[in-house]
Structures are given as C-alpha cells and as structure tokens.
Amino acid sequence: MSPKRIVIADDHQILRDGIKALLLAMDDVTLVGEAANGSELIDLINRTTTDLILLDIRMPVMDGIEAAKIIRGKGYQMPILVLSMFDDFNFYDALLDIGVNGFLLKESGYNELSIAIKSALEGRAYFSPELMLKLLRSKKQETSIKVTERERELITLICKGFSTNEIAKQLNRSISAVEKARAELLVKTKTPNSTALAVHAIKHNLVNLSDI
C-alpha cells in the first residue's frame, strides 16, 4: 500500500520542521509539500495529490479559515486537521461549518499526532484531549435540546473518536442503524459533521465528562 500523502500549512518554519521530524518516524505516511500561508496551500493542493492537510489557523496573506473554505468549495474532500493553540476557540465554529475533521494542539508529540492522523485518514473525527478538557472547563452554554440515553451513548462514543464500525460493535447495533442515528443527531443539533457534533455536545453539556 502506498504511503498517505500529507501537506503542512503553517507560517512558522520551526513548527513545520518539528512536524516533519515526527512524520519521518511514522510508517505509511509521507510529506509531499509545505506552505507558509493559505494561498500557497491552495496552489499546492491544486498540483499535488494529497490525502490529508495539517492546517494552521493564523497565517499571513490568507488564513486557515479562508483556505479551508476555498478548498472545500473546490470540491476537495481530503481530511483537514487543524493545528490549534489553546486560545483558538473563537475560530472553531467557523472551521467546523466549513468541514474540518479535527483539532490538534501544535505542541502535540509523536503519539498524539499519529493517533490524530490515523483517525482522520479513517474518516473519524479527532479532537485533542487537552483541548477537549479546556472546552469542558469553559463556560457551558444553555440549550433546549434534549437527548435520549441511547443518543447520549452514541455522542459519547463519537467524542471518543470511534469509527462507525467500532460504535456499531460497542452498541450492538447495525452500521446502518448507527449511521441513521448519527444523521438524526446532526439534524437535531444543527451540526454539519461528527466533529462539530462532538464540540456542540461538550459545549452544551450533552455528555458527561467522566464518560469521555
């Protein structure tokens, strides 16, 4: 099997070099390009076969939000993992609406980067545990949405990053039943994807911290 092709977009060369060093130690992935801003990234994506993008939010010329919007607008569906700082929460809703697949702390080490990349490549949402804890400890938002216990179980497993197949096994349900239930939750919570659903659930106290 050919290695998965990864692109990094970040304006800090030191950070890109650090991630490159981690990627070199991983099996089945290869770095095929680097960009220092969103404009360079779009040019790179247009001429390079890419399986996954590691994307910074704050960059000169064009930031990560605008770049992600253009990439999705062009029809590219490769996973996008956002390289995040602790104070980037204000940007998350916009990025989730665009359709990113997860958030990873910039200072993450080998193990977390490996898990995040594997999750995204397998079509699963990924949210850094440290960022999740930060979000959980922030001020909760009120909501009128009510979820059943079965829905709460499903959301909890989504927050943990389990795939559809894994969730089906955990809940002893068919894959189609899990997909249907998740689709209904997306409509119910007005969220575009599993990553957005997980963030929404945490913000609005739809899952228990002790269960994640």
Q: Encode pLDDT of 5-60 as tens digits.
A: 999 999 999 999 999 999 988 889 999 999 999 999 999 999 999 999 999 999 99
Query: Domain check: are 92 and 109 in the same one?
Result: yes
Beta carbons of 115 and 126 less than 8 angstroms apart: yes
Predicted pLDDT of residue 145: 81
Q: Examine the domain organization and report whether 180 and 111 are in the same domain.
A: no
**73-111: pLDDT as tens digits:** 999 999 999 998 867 777 888 898 899 999 998 888 888
Domain stops at, among 94, 111, 130 = 130
Q: Full-prediction pTM beyond 0.85? A: no
122 and 150, same domain (yes or no): no
Same domain for 147 and 120:
no
The sign one gets for the Cα dihedral 11, 2, 95, 90 is negative
Pair (125, 144) in one structural domain:
no
Residue 163 domain boundaries: 139-211
Q: For the domain that residue 14 is a member of, what is the CATH number?
A: 3.40.50.2300
Taking alpha carbons only, the member of 152, 155, 147, 153 closest to residue 127 is 155
State how far the Cα of 189 lies from the Cα of 212, in Å rounded to an integer. 19
Among candidate residues 71, 103, 130, the one where a domain is terminated: 130
Name the average pLDDT for the chain: 88
Judge if 112 and 198 occupy the same domain: no
Phi/psi of residue 55, nearest 5 degrees: -120, 125
Q: Which of 97, 130, 163 is the last residue of a domain?
A: 130
Q: Which amino acid would we find at residue 89?
A: F
Query: Per-residue pLDDT for 171 more than 90?
Result: yes
Single-letter code of the amino acid located at 102: G
- Total domains in the chain come to 2
Give yes or no: residues 101 and 144 share one domain.
no
Look up the CATH number of the domain holding residue 166.
Answer: 1.10.10.10
Q: For residue 31, what are its two tokens?
A: 């770095």
**Are 47 and 89 within one domain?**
yes
